């Protein structure tokens, strides 16, 4: 696991990410610090009620001095959206640390959430049309956001600024001016949604399944745009997806989620190039060739969701894991650093006897 706080030079100050140390120097603070973050939901079934951990001790650090695309993947119901909602302040956390630029997100007042946090952290959701009223001209959203956040000195300056932002997503104001959402294609509408997110010059975009409703060809152009935004606009993106192929092409780092756990996390090429956790191996074999063009059309064959996985005592993957050992049934595996990534599995735990381990390769899964 990465260190969460370390002393650094003043580069982070430019983005407002530093706090002052008593001796007058600055102490580096990450852009986003997620540590042991947990969300417990209470489910009522008749007279009975049960707690389950939709997100269970998740830890991720996004640096403030180097923008990155951080992919979060995992099958349906693994806790990806719950994690995103907590980061966006839309869902409270049950336990753990959640800080943006060293501020505890749950403690930020509603006023500051509006005036500061949502200027800095912007969401992009799956369905672009759900973000816009069908009765309202789509460019009006851009004007309103620019004016509400005082991104322009006066109304006259707004078209120039909006055009500049739209150019980052490959559109012009002339193309969308006066048009209603239903007059735009899905790809255009998602580009406008991303442009709206960019109006406030955010440092972090949380994109939850932003391409899953788009054609395969458009997916590529949107994820490429995230890469460009990172390079040109210094924006970090948490890119949540089912689609391992786009995660592979876009993500600098990746976290693989399973029933609320991050089971493998590290540089994307390393994790998806040579997955170590049996679950990541299983996900990867669901797409025949991650580098092939066909991968764009391939839908990952998501495993059947087992309702007992969330409430298992031991490893949540034990019921499906081809390498399961006795220890896995009753004990929670530790997260260990192995081959340049963290992996939550007894196979990589030195305390477990080697002769009990049945190491797998993706082809064997
Ligand atoms: N408000 C809620 N109350 C109770 N359970 C919830 C709530 N929100 C989510 N859950 C449950 O938490 C688990 C994780 O859900 P979440 O939406 O975070 O998964 P996900 O990985 O985003 O799935 P998908 O890929 O389908 O979007 C699921 O079992 C879901 O049913
Ligand atoms: S801890 Fe055990 S059950 Fe879980 S993934 Fe590793 S080997 Fe499989
Ligand atoms: Mg989701």
* Per-residue pLDDT reduced to its tens digit, 128-169: 899 899 999 999 999 999 999 999 998 899 999 999 999 988
What separation in Å is there between the alpha carbon of 110 and the centre of ligand 3? 25
Q: What is the pLDDT of residue 39?
A: 97
- What is residue 293's predicted lDDT score, i.e. its pLDDT? 42
Share of the chain above pLDDT 70, in %: 85
Residue with tokens 């305390």: 351
Please check the confidence at residue 204 and state whether its pLDDT lies above 90: yes
Asked if residues 273 and 245 have their Cβ atoms less than 8 Å apart, the reply is: no
Q: How far is CA 303 from CA 158, 282, 334, in A?
A: 48, 9, 24
pLDDT at 118: 95
Question: Would you place residue 360 in the very low, low, confident or very high pLDDT band (cuts 50, 70, 90)?
Answer: low
Candidate from 204-213, 227-236, 301-310 with smallest mean pLDDT: 301-310
Q: Which ligand is nearest to the CA of 82?
A: 1
- pTM score: 0.87
338 close to 344: Cβ distance less than 8 angstroms: no
C-alpha–C-alpha distance, residues 25 and 195, integer Å: 37
Which residues form ligand 1's pocket by a CB distance below 6 Å? 41, 54, 74, 76-82, 242
Q: How far is the CA of 247 from the centre of ligand 2 (A)?
A: 24
Separation of CA 94 and ligand 2 centre (Å): 26
Q: Which two tokens stand for residue 304?
A: 């059947």
> How confident is residue 362, by pLDDT bands cut at 50, 70 and 90?
low
Query: What pLDDT does 180 receive?
Result: 97
Alpha-carbon distance values, 147 to 136, 138, 161, 192, 196 (Å): 17, 15, 11, 17, 12
Angle at 239 between CA 177 and CA 198, to 5 degrees: 30
User: Backbone phi, then psi, for 19, in 5-degree steps?
Assistant: -120, 155
Candidates 62, 68, 64, 61; CA nearest to 18 is 64
Tell me if 219 sits within 8 A of 137, measured CB to CB.
no
pLDDT at 1: 38
Mean pLDDT value of segment 274-284: 95
For the chain, strand residue ranges (E) read 6-7, 18-20, 26-28, 32-45, 48-62, 69-73, 95-100, 103-104, 121-124, 204-208, 236-241, 253-258, 261-267, 335-338, 341-344
Residue 318 CA: nearest ligand 2 atom is 3
φ, ψ of residue 205 to 5 degrees: the values are -115, 130
Lowest mean pLDDT among 9-23, 182-196, 349-363: 9-23
Distances (CA, A) of 263 to 15, 44, 124, 275: 31, 28, 25, 11
Atom of ligand 2 nearest to the CA of 277: 5
Least confident window among 3-7, 272-276, 349-353? 3-7
Q: Pick the ligand that lies closest to the CA of residue 80.
A: 1
Q: Identify the weakest region by mean pLDDT among 70-74, 216-220, 357-361.
A: 357-361
Residues 3-19, mean pLDDT to the nearest whole number: 36
**For residue 333, which atom of ligand 2 is closest to its CA?**
1
pLDDT at residue 298, rounded to an integer? 40
Task: Please report where in the chains the tokens 């764009």 appear, as a residue.
Answer: 296
What is the per-residue pLDDT for 308? Answer: 74
The pLDDT value given to residue 201: 93
- pLDDT score of 265 more than 80: yes
Average pLDDT over residues 103-132: 94
- What local confidence, expressed as pLDDT, does residue 27 receive? 66
Spatial separation of the C-alpha atoms in residues 266 and 176, rounded to whole Å: 39
Residue with tokens 């806790």: 79
Q: Of 47-56, 81-90, 125-134, 296-305, which one has max mean pLDDT?
A: 81-90
Sign of CA dihedral 220, 232, 265, 261: negative
Q: CA 267 to CA 170: how far, in whole Å?
A: 29
Q: Which residue has the higher pLDDT, 91 or 14?
A: 91
Average pLDDT in the chain? 85
List CB contacts of 281: < 8 A, sequence separation 6 or more: 275, 360, 361, 362, 365
Ligand 2 center from residue 344 Cα (angstroms): 8
> What single-letter DSSP state applies at residue 152?
S
| Residues forming a β-bridge with 27 | 7, 19
Residue 3: is its pLDDT beyond 80?
A: no
Mean pLDDT of 184-204: 93
């Amino acid at each position: 696991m990465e260190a969460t706080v370390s002393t650094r030079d003043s580069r982070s100050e430019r983005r407002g990410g530093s706090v002052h140390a008593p001796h007058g120097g600055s102490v580096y603070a990450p852009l986003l610090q997620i540590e042991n973050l947990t969300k417990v939901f209470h489910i009522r079934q008749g007279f009975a009620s049960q707690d389950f951990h939709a997100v269970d001790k998740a830890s991720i650090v996004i640096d403030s001095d180097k923008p990155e695309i951080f992919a979060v993947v995992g099958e349906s119901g693994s806790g990806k959206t719950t994690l995103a909602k907590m980061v966006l302040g839309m869902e409270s956390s049950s336990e753990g640390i959640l800080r943006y630029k060293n501020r505890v997100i749950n403690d930020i007042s509603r006023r500051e959430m509006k005036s500061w946090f949502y200027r800095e952290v912007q969401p992009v959701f799956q369905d672009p049309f759900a973000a816009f009223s069908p009765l309202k001209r789509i460019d009006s959203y851009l004007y309103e956001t620019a004016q509400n956040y005082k991104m322009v000195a006066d109304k006259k300056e707004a078209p120039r600024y909006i055009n500049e932002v739209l150019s980052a997503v490959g559109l012009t104001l002339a193309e969308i001016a006066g048009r209603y959402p239903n007059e735009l294609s899905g790809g255009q509408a998602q580009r406008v949604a991303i442009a709206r997110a960019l109006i406030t010059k955010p440092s972090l975009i949380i994109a939850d399944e932003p391409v899953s409703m788009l054609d395969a060809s458009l997916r590529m152009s949107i994820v490429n745009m995230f890469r460009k935004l990172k390079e040109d606009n210094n924006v970090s993106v948490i890119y949540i997806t089912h689609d391992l192929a786009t995660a592979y092409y876009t993500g600098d780092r990746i976290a693989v989620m399973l029933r609320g756990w991050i089971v493998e996390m590290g540089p994307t090429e390393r994790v998806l190039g040579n997955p170590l956790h049996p679950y990541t191996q299983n996900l990867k074999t669901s797409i025949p060739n991650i580098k092939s063009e066909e991968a764009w059309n391939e839908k990952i064959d998501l495993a059947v969701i087992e309702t007992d996985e969330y409430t298992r005592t031991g490893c949540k993957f034990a019921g499906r894991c081809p390498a399961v050992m006795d220890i896995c049934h009753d004990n929670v595996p530790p997260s260990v650093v192995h081959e340049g990534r963290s992996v939550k599995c007894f196979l990589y735990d030195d305390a477990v006897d080697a002769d009990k381990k049945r190491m797998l390769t993706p082809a064997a899964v």
